[in-house]
Every structure is written in structure tokens, then in C-alpha cells.
């Protein structure tokens, strides 16, 4: 009985130590992802503080454009301003934050609407609508089980999407200039 009790205690101690080591490894991995995400910032973009009211106004304005897609071409300059503003919010936001997610969602929605102006497509409108819904939900603090801001991987995903959208905006500017 004593031998089996000692073996049981030894097994519990070994399991506890293994769990402790795994927890330290997970923490180190999350710290590495957060550090990587913080390093993925757009060059030559000055960060600005996030403005909740301006973000809500941008959402409302872009939702009106989605509802009247024939008018999107008349609002390219506004969409550029929205994208630039959202880009500066993203640059100023901490990784894995609601502010970063809303900023990137707004920037991507503006990009999808600009893409629709260049090449009308229901797919562009659907992606813009989805990004606007995501921005609105995050701004309202609604909990989405698929996306919980604060997770290191979400911050990395948002930073990468922001850089991708920046490159897409440069391409769109060239396409818009060629279309004139």
C-alpha cells in the first residue's frame, strides 16, 4: 500500500511538472507571436489615436455606399481618406486590440468598395459588407467566439491583413490613374 501511494504521488508530481513546463512553453510562444506582430507595422505611416465616433461614422457612410453601389465611383476620394485614416489608426493601435481590428476591417472595407468601383462585382460588395459587420460588432463590444481580440494570433492576422491592404491600395491607385 505504501509503495503504491508513493508511486501515485511520484506520478502526480511528474504530471504537474510536465504541465508546468508546457505552460511555460506556451507563454514563450505567445510572447514571440506578440513581438512578431508588433514588428509588422507599415513604414512611413504616422500612428494616430483611435476615434470611436469617427469609426462609427465611417461604417455608416460605407454602409450607405454598399446599399447604393452605383454611387461608389463618385466617392473614391472619400474612400481613400477612410483608408488612410484607418491605416493611421492601425499604426497607432496595439497588437491584438479591438482598435486594431476595427481599423483593419474599415481599411479593408474601403478597399473592397474601391475595387468595386474599378470592377463592379457582388463579391466586392459582399466582402465590404462582411468587413463592415465585423467592424461594427467589434466597435459595439459584441463577443464573437471566432474572434476574440486580445489573442496574439488575432493581432498577427490583423497586422498582416493591414500590410496586405496597404499593398492593394497602391495597386488600386495605379489602376484608378490608368482608368481616367
Quote the CA–CA distance of 106 and 93 in Å, as a whole number. 14
In tens, the pLDDT along 133-171 reads 999 998 888 655 444 545 667 777 888 888 889 889 888
Do the beta carbons of residue 103 and residue 89 sit within 8 Å?
Answer: yes
Spatial separation of the C-alpha atoms in residues 173 and 45, rounded to whole Å = 17
Distance of CA 121 to the CA centre of its chain: 23
Residues 6+ apart with CB under 8 A from 117: 72, 73, 76, 79, 176
Residues 75, 53: Cα–Cα separation, whole Å: 20
Q: What is the pTM of this model?
A: 0.74
Burial 78-110 (b: 16+ CB within 10 A, else e): bbbebbebbbbbbbbbebbbbbbbbbbbbbbbb
Could you tell me the three cell numbers for 106? 474599415
Spatial contact of 53 and 70, defined as CB atoms under 8 Å apart: no
Q: How many CB atoms lie within 10 A of CB 124?
A: 21
Give residue-wise pLDDT tens across range 77-133. Answer: 999 999 999 999 998 888 778 999 999 999 999 999 999 999 999 999 999 999 999
Amino acid at each position: 500500500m505504501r509503495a503504491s501511494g508513493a508511486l501515485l504521488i511520484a506520478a502526480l508530481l511528474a504530471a504537474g511538472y510536465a504541465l508546468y513546463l508546457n505552460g511555460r512553453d506556451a507563454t514563450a510562444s505567445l510572447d514571440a507571436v506578440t513581438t512578431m506582430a508588433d514588428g509588422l507595422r507599415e513604414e512611413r505611416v504616422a500612428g494616430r489615436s483611435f476615434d470611436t465616433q469617427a469609426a462609427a461614422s465611417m461604417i455608416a457612410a460605407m454602409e450607405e455606399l454598399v446599399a447604393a453601389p452605383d454611387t461608389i465611383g463618385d466617392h473614391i476620394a472619400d474612400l481613400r481618406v477612410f483608408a488612410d485614416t484607418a491605416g493611421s489608426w492601425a499604426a497607432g493601435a496595439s497588437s491584438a486590440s479591438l482598435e486594431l481590428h476595427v481599423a483593419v476591417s474599415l481599411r479593408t472595407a474601403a478597399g473592397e468598395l474601391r475595387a468595386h468601383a474599378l470592377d463592379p462585382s457582388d463579391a466586392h460588395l459582399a466582402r465590404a459588407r462582411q468587413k463592415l459587420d465585423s467592424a461594427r460588432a467589434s466597435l459595439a463590444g459584441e463577443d464573437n467566439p471566432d474572434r476574440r481580440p486580445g489573442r496574439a494570433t488575432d493581432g498577427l492576422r490583423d497586422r498582416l491583413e493591414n500590410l496586405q491592404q496597404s499593398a492593394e491600395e497602391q495597386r488600386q491607385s495605379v489602376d484608378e490613374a490608368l482608368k481616367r
